[in-house]
Amino acid sequence: MVCGAELEAGSLLERTWMGQQVVAFRTWSGSVAVVSAYCPHLGANLARGGTVVEESLRCPFHSLRWGVDGRCIGSEYPGNPPYAETLPTFPTIERFGFVFAWHHPDGGEPSFDVPDLDLDGWTDLIVTTIPIDTHVETVHENGADAVHFGIVHGFPLSGTAYESRGSSFHSEFHFATPNFLREGPAEMITFFDTDTHGLGYAHSLNTADSVGLQYRVLLLTTPTRSGSLDFTLASTVRRPPSGDRIAGVPVAEVAEFMHRGALGGVHQDVPIWEGMLHVDHPRLVKGDGPIPRFRHWAQQFRP
């Protein structure tokens, strides 16, 4: 939904999400909520002139204050009369510096959680968000499309394995690239170990043992309108046990390079994604093996 650093205590942000306007806000004590942008009273947009007052969001039109649970907890009307209407809310969690909200077409409760990450000993996350006109399933299916890595990105995969694990989909593979660092072999083999959680978040832990490099790539998708989403890529590099260099290169430079590289791969995919027609029942080619497995797993998140 939003990067936690953008949402300081007492602040709010309007977002377009799942075809509707919502507000993410953080109370004075630090609690985070995601709610409908429209006051149930007379429909004022709570993000446009609204303010966070203690543990509530105050409507700019008639001062009704809404708690994180969607109940009206007061107003500046004479006598502060009770108001029984509720503001639609969305279950919200905060993990590793990002705010996640749960959407169910029928208002159902979350059916899975997003596991937290221990980022102690890692560089600060570098974060980039880009808008993309594509189907949200297309982005996450990309990781299960083994054939395209060689054709689009120039590195064929080896040692591939895929497994559905309830609400998450696991994929792993190896690929070879020239060594861009100053020390080590001319070619480095990287092992990708990826878990996709629902259709909003994937975490990839990537290891190149020959040069002592380990990095994470987080892929976060926020559907905005039908056929469009905000794609957030965040990356971080594990700091070496001693010193500040990885294979002769300062850690900060490695972190920047890995982020640029991951983002460059996304930009290679974007023209294809944006020109695609999402086909619900494609006629596949021998060798497309992981794709139908991913699609079968993804069905659980469709209305």
- pLDDT at residue 302 in the model: 87
> 151-170 burial string, b = 16+ CB within 10 Å, else e?
eeeeeebeebebeeeebbbe
Q: How far is C-alpha 1 from the geometric centre of its chain's CA atoms?
A: 8
CA distance 300 to 303: 8
Task: Count Cα atoms within 13 angstroms, Cβ side, for 260.
Answer: 7
pTM, to two decimals: 0.93
pLDDT at 95 over 90: yes
pLDDT at 82 over 90: yes
Average pLDDT of the residues in 208-224? 97
pLDDT of residue 303: 82
pLDDT for the residue numbered 141:
94
Buried b (16+ CB within 10 A) or exposed e, 12-45: bbbbebeeeebbbbbbeeeebbbbbbbbbbeebb
Contact between 22 and 40 (Cβ < 8 Å): no
DSSP label at 287? T
Mean pLDDT over all residues of the chain?
95
Query: What separation in angstroms does the CA of 69 have from each of 34, 89, 113?
Result: 10, 7, 19
For the chain, the structural domain boundaries read: 2-101, 126-301
- Amino acid symbol at 136: V
CA–CA distance, 6 with 13 (Å, rounded to integer) = 8
Which long-range CB contacts under 8 A does 249-255 form with residues at least 24 apart? 249/181, 249/182, 251/123, 252/123, 254/181, 254/213, 254/215, 255/123, 255/126, 255/215
The 3-state DSSP class for residue 193 equals strand
pLDDT of residue 255 exceeding 90: yes
Q: Calculate ∠ Cα 91-229-168, nearest 5°.
A: 55
Q: What is the pLDDT of residues 56-74, one digit of tens each?
A: 999 999 999 999 999 999 9
- 37: DSSP letter: S
pLDDT at 127 over 90: yes
Q: Encode pLDDT of 275-297 as tens digits.
A: 999 898 889 998 887 999 999 99
Phi, psi of 82 (to 5 degrees): -65, 155
Mean pLDDT calculated for residue range 155-178: 95
DSSP 227-255: T-EEEEEEEEEBPPSSSSEETTEEHHHHH
Using the structure block, give the residue that is written with the tokens 């998140």.
301
Quote the pLDDT of residue 286.
87
CATH of segment(s) 126-301 = 3.90.380.10
Percent of the chain with pLDDT over 70: 100
296 Cβ neighbours under 8 A, 6+ residues apart: 164
pLDDT at 76 over 90: yes
Strand partners, 232: 129, 220
Where does the pLDDT of residue 87 fall: very low under 50, low under 70, confident under 90, or very high at 90 and above? very high
Q: Any idea which fold 2-101 has?
A: Rieske Iron-sulfur Protein (2.102.10)
Contact 133, 228 (CB under 8 A): yes
Q: Which amino acid is at 241?
A: P
Mean pLDDT value across residues 139-152: 93
